[in-house]
Every structure is written in C-alpha cells, then in structure tokens.
Amino acid sequence: MIDIVVHVVVLLVLPPLLLGVIGKTKAWFAGRRGPPFLQLYFDLFKLVRKGLVQSTTTTWVFRAGPVVTLVVVVLAGLLIPFGASPAPISFTGDMILFAYLFALGRFFTTTAALDTGSSFEGMGSAREVTFAVLSEPALFFAFLVLAKLSGSLSLTTMLHGTSGTFLTAAAPTIVLLSLGLFIVLVAECCRLPVDDPNTHLELTMIHEAMVLDHGGPWLGLIEYAASVKLLVLGAILMNVALPFSTGVGWADWMIFVAGLLGLSVVLGVLESVMARLRMNRVPYLLVAALLLCGSSFLLLLR
Amino acid sequence: MVSLWLILGGVALQGLSGVPAFFFPRRSAAGQRTTFGLLTLGSALGLAGVVLNALGAGGASVLTLGWTLPWGQFSLGLDALGNVFLVLIFVVPALGAGYGLGYWRQSDHPDNGKRLGLAFGILSAAMALVVISRDGVLFLLAWEAMALAAFFAITTEDEDPEVRQAGWVYLVATHVGTLCLLVMFGLWARTTGSFSLEAHPMPREAASAVFVLALVGFGFKAGLMPLHFWLPGAHARAPSHVSAVLSGVMLKVGVYGLLRMTSLLPVGDWWGGAVLAVGVLTGVLGVAFSLAQQDWKRLLAYSSIDNVGIIAMGLGLALLGRYQGRGDWVVLGLGAALLHVWNHGLFKPLLFFNAGAVIHATHTRSLDQMGGLGKTMPWTLGLFVVGALALCGLPPLNGFVGEWYLYLGLFHTLGGPSATVAVAAAGAGLALIGALAVAGFVKVTGAVFLGASRNPQPNPHLMRDPGVAMLVPMVVLAGLCLALGLGSPWVVPALEAAVQAWAPTVAPSLATLAPTSWITGAALVILGAGIFGVGMQFLPGAKKARSVVTWDCGYARPTGLMQYTASSLTDGVVRLFGFMLRPRGLPGTPELFAAKWSFQRLVPDVVLERWLMPFARLVGKLVPRIRIFQQGQTHVYLLYILIITLLLFAVAGFWGLS
C-alpha cells in the first residue's frame, strides 16, 4: 500500500524536477548558472493562473488534446513498475495497453495541433506521426525480448524479470535493448538530437511546433504531461538497464530516483555536446533503434 | 429448426426487398421506404434466428430441402462460427439501407435508385445464404449471386466511365476467384465423394491443394495482397452505403469461406506460417497504401485491406496452433480474428457513412480540398473520431480489444519451440500497422474536419450535418463500437463457441487466457477522464477562452490554402516507404521566382497499374491476331467444332483415356 502511495507521489510530483536537472546540466556545460531546479514547477504555477486563448478555427478537439495527453501518460505511469516495487495496476497484456495509450495520446496531440490550421503545427504533427512509425515497432521488439527473458506477459514481472541477468548470457541482449530504448526515449520525449526543445525556430521543431497555439493552463497541462512522459519512459529504461534491488523498500526508491536524476544528467550532457540532427536524418537514428531492439530479439532465437 | 426457418424467411425477405419498389412511381420515396422496411424486417427475423440458435433454443441446426439439380443438395446449417458472420450480415445492410434513404434518395436518383435497391437486397440475402449453406454447389451458387449483385451495386452510376472501369476490374477479379473455388469444390467432391461440407480425413497433398485454392479463391474476395487490386477502385466508385456493406461485410464473407474450409481440413505444417506471412504483408502494405491516398474512399478501401491482413494474422496463428497442438494460440489467434471481423464490420461502415455524409455536402472525395468542416458538421466530426480511434486500435474502443488478443497470442508463441519464436516478430509488424494507421487517420481527421477550409469559396449552408436518416445509422454503429470496447467480457462466450466450432478439440479458455476486465476498467477511466476534462471547460464557471486568429508570423493575408495539406502531412511516411509505394509526381525544383508552380502526388496501386494493366494492354495488342479465326459464318464454326472433337478423340486415344 505504501509503495502505491509513493508510486503515485513520485509519478505526479517528480517529473518537472527531471527537466530542471536537464536544464541545470546544460547551463553548467555552457558556463551559466541557469534557471533553478524547480523552474518548471514555477512555470506550471504561472501558466495555470493565466487566461485561455484559442484560435477561431478550433473545435473541441483542440481542447481535448491537452487533457487526453495528460490522462494517458498518467495512466501509463500506473502500469510501469518504479524500481523494485510492483506497478499499482498490473494484468496480463498490460504492456500492449501501455503502448497504445501513448498512441492515443499521439492521436489527440497531433489532431489538436492540426485544429489550429497553422502550417507550423502541421509540420510538427507530420514529423510526430512519421517518427512514431519507427519507434513503435522498436518498443514492441523490446517488449517481446523482455517477455521472452522473463516468461511473463505483464510489465511488472517483465521488467523485474531481467534482474540478475547482467552477468549471464543475456547481457548482450540487455545492452542492445537499453541502447534501443534510450533512442526511443529521446525520440518520444523530443530531446536532442531528434528535437531541440529550446529552439525558437518553429520550422525545425516537432513537439514545440505542435503546441505553438496552446497557451495558459492548456500549455501547462502539455508541459506537465511531457515531463511525466519522460519519467515513465525513463522508468522502463531504469528497470532494464539498472535491474538492481536491495530488498529494502526505501533504499530501492532512493536508487530509482537517483537513477532517474542520473538519466536526466545524461540527457543534459548529450544536449550540451550534440547538435540536432537534420530532420531527414532522424529516421536513420530511429531505424538504428529498431535494429538494436530487433537484433536483441534475434539474439534470443539462438 | 425454428431458427433456421426464421433465417431462411429473413433471407427471402432481404432478397425480395427491392422488388416492390418497381411498382411505385419513378421518384417515389414510398417505394424506397418499402424496400428499407422489408430489408429491416428480414434482418430482424434473421437476427432473431441467430440469437435463438446461439442460446441453444432454436432447435435443430441442420436442414435439407428438396433440390432438382443433378449435383449437390439444398443443405443448410447453423453453427457458432457462421453466427459471428450472420450477425454482421443482419445488422450492417439494414443500417446501410436506412442510410440510403437520405444518401441515395429515389427522388434524386430516379434512374438507378430502384436497381440499386434490388441489387442491395440480393447482395445481403446472398451473403447470408453463403454463410448458412452446407453444400459446395449451393455455396457456389450463392457466392455467384453475391458477386453479381455486388457488381450491379458497384456500377450504380454506370454512366461514369471510371465506375464502369472499376466494375469490370471487380468482375474479372471475382470470377478468377470463383474459378479457383470451382476447382476447389471439384477437388473436394472428388476426394471426399460428395459436395457436402463436412470434415473428412484426406491425404495431405489433397488437403494442401484444397487449402491453396481456398486461399487464392477466398483471398480475392477478402482482399489479401496481392489479390486486392480490384478493391480500392470498386469501393471508391460505389455509393457510400454500398462501399460500407462491401467493405464491412462482403470482405468478411471471403474470410468466412477461408475459415470454413480450414475448419474442415486436416491442417498442414506450413499453412499457419504462410497465412501469417500473407497477413503481415497485407496489413503493412494495405495501411501504407492507405495513408498515401488522397481520395478519401480509396483510403478507406486500402485500410480495409489492412484490416483483413490483421484478421489473416489471427487465422495464421490459429492454424499454427492447431498444427502444433497449442490450444492457447488457437484460442487467442482465432478469437482475435473473429473479434476483428466484428470490429471492422462496425467501424468501417461507420467511416464510410461518415465519408458519404461529407462527400454529400462537399461533392468531392479529395482530402486536399476539404478542411474546417468540424465546426459546421459537429456530429459527423465526433462520430468520425470514434470510428478513427476504433480503426487505429486505440482504447477505449473495440478495435483495441481485438488487436490486444492478437498481440497476446503472438506473445504466447514466445513460449513455443525456438523455430516458432520468430513468429512473435509479427507483433512488431502489428505495431507498425498500428502506428501507420494512426498517421493515416490523423491525416484524414485533420485534413477534413480541422483547421480552416481549403475551399476558396466555402458555402457554410451546404456543409451541414446530414439528416436523421443518415445520422441514426452512424450513431448506432458508433454506439456498438463503444459498447464492444467497454463490454468485451460479454461477447467472449460467443467467440469461444465459434473457436470451438472451428477447432472442436480446443478448450474454450479465452476468458482465462486474456481477462479483459482491466481493459474495460482502463477504457472507462479514459472515457470518463476525457469527458470530464472536455466537459469542465464548458461549465458556466469555467474560464472563458478568448478567440483570436491562429499565429501566422504576422503574415497579412493568411488563407486556408496555406495549411499543411493531407498529402504533405504523410509525405514523410510515403518517402520512408517509397520503395514499396512507388509514388509518382515527385516535385522538381521550381525556377527562382517562379510565378506559378504545380505538382501532383499520386500513389497508384502497384499491382494493378504496374503489373496487371501493362499485361492486359499486351494481351489486348496480341489478341487481334487470332481474329482471323472469327469468320462470322456458321459452317466455319461447325468445322471448328468438328476439328476440336477429332483432336480430343485423338488425344484421348493417344493417352489411353476412355
């Protein structure tokens, strides 16, 4: 019970901090002091109090976009085990629901963007649906590998089933899988080198281009949902790449949170040392993720 | 016996439903209403029969009547497998006829309305007869009636040369398929000694031959790649409610044939893998072609091909399971296939009805010329979103549950022998199909309903939601999609019974292998949260949003034509899959300061336009050379007959045949 409470608290409260850590890391690399760790919390608080502005072309789809996006990522977060504790909701086949929740979110994010009738939003939506075509099969290959390794069809046991496999024959599989999942995370969360969340040139963006015409509380919902998504996908990666368990509840939670913060630092470092890929090169990166996850599946067929 | 007689009565009413209209005046709406009433009554009778049979209260489920043909017999039967398909046949055409009251008014179409009504009724009746027939000859007769009725329904607007072209392609394709079935039933009768459709032990080679012929023959009707080429043209050119029935129900009759024959045959080792591979190919190619289309109805037609691919994947898995003795694969694979038969049979007619409503208002099928219709057609937009979410397999709608079964089945193969673990990779293929479907339907939703109109002179008075006659069938179908998404546990017994009818040795364990209670719960949460979230913003106390124009970088005269079009939205994906789609009309580079520049991006069907049409043209060029034999004089023809007969005798004598 206490684990479920902690799970929900971590899921709802921690995400904006991860983006704060990324920002701080990037600032440190650039020799700046940077915004405080809690900047996104302040931003969200500010956005929620602002008024609403919508385009004259929009319908209810535009208003549904932010709400549905947030609902699906939170629901997806309840299906993923955080660290060593089990997920609050767990049943046979929950990984499929997990993946399709993200697809549902994508449907509404992209249609809400198209509802504004702006070309920038159109570009963002086009890129979002195109890149998902490559990242979604990669994610399913990852699920297939995890299901095969653990002999289970539920995310909690699938992700915990990799514990202790690091030193066994499955290690190469796990390494390939972690790399593939990392690329999927970068693409799904629209971080560098796939998308530059800081740019102000709409032509080159994906996620930011889609939300250009959302403002106030709607923008707040979107920003918050994006950070929750980072945490949820990060939790999968943590489970695969760091399958350690001390057996002590609070220590496992500390390891999990430390792992997520470490992941944010890694993302921050990457964003500091890399440039964004040209848009037409992004599919190559995603195909690489598909190949990595597919190869890890092939390794199991021996 | 009661249920069979009810169904037979329903079939008769359906088949004759178009006749009374001919006694009414040319533009009379009463005639069309009579047709609709008879069709609905027939469907209701049939549905009652199916329900009675499913509950076990309908008496005997086999019936043999007198028959004067020298072959076969008039033998009918009901079982749980057929019932799955009968439900669709007794629901969708009736809704289609209701939709037709508004969409194809007799007063607007006095020349072809009655003919369409007749063909529509015969099509529905023939489909039901195919499903209940238990004899090869009767099956073929019903099959041919269905194929011909569909031809006349497709070519309703036969004054249009493109409609005639699509009709001819369909007619050729369906008859090549029928030819395969003719050979198949011949082989069947030769091997088993009768045309009766009952399980028979037979040698492996004969079973494999029957299976291949069935796969090709029924594959033409179901639209398996590369036998799908007739489908996009026919579905795009037919009136929308006919497209809905063709796509939602008639393709499924092809699937039914394949299911029926495979249930009677001893399964071979390679069948499952082959059907699964064909399914993945059909699914991926179908959806890739679908999202590349600019014609709304062609897009929907290709997406039907993709859904048949998903159904075939389920069947492939079930065949594999039956050969390997793995009950869980059979239950999950066939359960997924059958549920998807229902799902697609509900959401695809809904989407075709939607397309029809918009086409009725805008008089174009081109996605690139629409936009912003959601504001004046709110019902159509809402119902379209329901259909699109269901088609993309997204929760909380019915499409998700079917795909979920299939994923689970594919994940179950991970526990099999190492050779079949590779089968699980089809799961990644299904994920690819899902992601592509989302791309395609985001495109349609955005291009048609959202943003601003791309028409320079939009006429908001025409862009209205359709009338009650068209709206009610759409609402019913959307409601059924939602009900099947939320109430999936309640249909599991029907699916389990159908799986058992297909493979009697398998224990009905769908409910334990794949408990859907959590899915229902999650679906309810999503639905509730979505309604709550959107509804909150309409409450009196909610913050009012200011309305301003979309940010356009300060450009002085923004127009709807500056929006991302449907083609540009999916251009990235089309380029990714360019090696299969072979798009035409890639834009070149315009000269500097070009005053005017235009290009057109088309993705024609590879099989039809690149393979079959060149072949047909070649044949057309060569055939006139043998025209010298065509003398037009009777005695020459008699001479030909004499020569052929002599030759046949010579050949028979040479090979020692008597």
At B247-295, the pLDDT tens digits run 999 999 999 999 999 999 988 889 999 999 999 999 999 999 999 998 9
Asked whether the beta carbons of residue A61 and residue B438 sit closer than 8 angstroms, the reply is: no
> Does B534 contact A60 at a Cβ distance shorter than 8 Å?
yes
d(CA B429, CA B427): 5
Helix axes B204-222, B251-264, angle to 10 degrees: 170
**Exposure class string for A232-245: b at 16+ Cβ within 10 A, else e:** bbbbbbbbbbbbee
- Dist. CA A74–CA B447, nearest whole Å: 29
Locus of tokens 């088993």:
B192
Q: Which residue, among B413, B438, B449, would best test binding to A if mutated, counting the most A CBs under 10 Å from its CB? A: B438
- With an 8 Å Cβ cutoff, are B550 and A118 in contact? yes
Query: Chain B closest CA to A28's CA: distance in Å?
Result: 33
For residue A205, which residues of chain B lie inside 8 Å, CB to CB?
none
- Does the beta-carbon distance from B428 to A111 stay under 8 Å? no
Q: How far is B489 from chain A (nearest CA, A)?
A: 15
Distance CA A297, CA B11 (A): 51
Chain A residues with beta carbon closer than 8 angstroms to that of B393: 100, 103
Residue B70 or residue A247, greater confidence: B70
Could you tell me which residue, B484 or B67, shows the higher pLDDT?
Answer: B484
Q: Looking at residue A243, what DSSP letter applies?
A: -
Task: Name B510's Cβ contacts closer than 8 Å, sequence gap at least 6.
Answer: B331, B332, B335, B405, B492, B495, B496, B499
Q: pLDDT at position B563, please?
A: 85
Domain coverage including residue A152: 2-299
Q: What is the mean pLDDT of residues B585-612?
A: 77
> Maximum distance among all alpha carbons in chain B?
96
Distance between CA B421 and CA B469 in Å, rounded?
Answer: 50
At B122 the pLDDT is: 95
- Say whether A301 and B403 touch across the interface (CB within 8 A): no
Q: Token match 């004067």: residue?
A: B68
Q: What local confidence, expressed as pLDDT, does residue A251 receive?
A: 85
Q: Which of B239, B235, B234, B246 is nearest to B167 (CA)?
A: B234
Residue from the list A71, A137, A302 with its beta carbon closest to the beta carbon of B428:
A137
Question: Which of A99, A106, A144 is nearest residue B424 as measured by Cβ atoms?
Answer: A144
Using the 8-state DSSP alphabet, how is residue B629 labeled?
G
Quick one: average pLDDT of B620-630?
86
Contact between residue B246 and residue B89 where contact means Cβ atoms under 8 Å apart:
no
Question: Which chain A residue shows the shortest CA-CA distance from B451?
Answer: A117
Average pLDDT for residues B549-553, to the nearest whole number?
76
- Are B422 and A97 in contact (CB < 8 Å)? no
pLDDT in tens, A18-71: 999 999 999 999 999 889 999 999 999 999 888 888 888 888 888 888 989 999
Q: What is the mean pLDDT of chain B?
A: 89
The overall average pLDDT reported for chain A is: 87
Instruction: Give the nearest partner residue to A99 out of B389, B431, B445, using CB atoms.
Output: B431
Task: Decide if A107 and B441 are in contact by the 8 Å CB cutoff.
Answer: yes
A96 touches B: beta carbon within 8 Å: yes
Q: B378 to chain A: which residues are within 8 Å by CB? A: 59
Measured between beta carbons, which residues in chain A are less than 8 angstroms from residue B551?
118, 212-213
Query: How many domains in chain A?
Result: 1
Instruction: Please judge whether A71 and B441 are an interchain contact, meaning their C-beta atoms are less than 8 angstroms apart.
Output: no
CA-based nearest distance B421→chain A, Å: 7
What average pLDDT does range B108-131 have in this prediction? Answer: 93
Binned at pLDDT 50, 70 and 90, residue B454 comes out as: confident
Chain A, 116-175: which have a CB under 8 Å from a chain B CB? Answer: 116-119, 121-123, 125-127, 129-130, 132-137, 139-141, 143-144, 147-148, 151, 153
Any CB–CB contact under 8 A between A295 and chain B? Answer: no
Q: What is the nearest CA distance from A145 to chain B, expressed in angstroms?
A: 9
pLDDT band at B643 (very low <50, low <70, confident <90, very high): very high
Taking the CA of residue B251 and the nearest CA in chain A, the distance in Å comes to 27
Residues (pLDDT < 70) of chain A are 161-169, 199-202, 302
- DSSP count for chain B of H helices, then E strands: 26, 3
Q: Please indicate whether, in this complex, the C-beta atoms of B562 and A119 are within 8 angstroms of each other.
A: yes
pLDDT of residue B457: 73
Interface of A with B in 188-217 (CB under 8 A): 212-213, 216-217
Which among A61, A101, A300 has the least Cβ separation from residue B450? A61
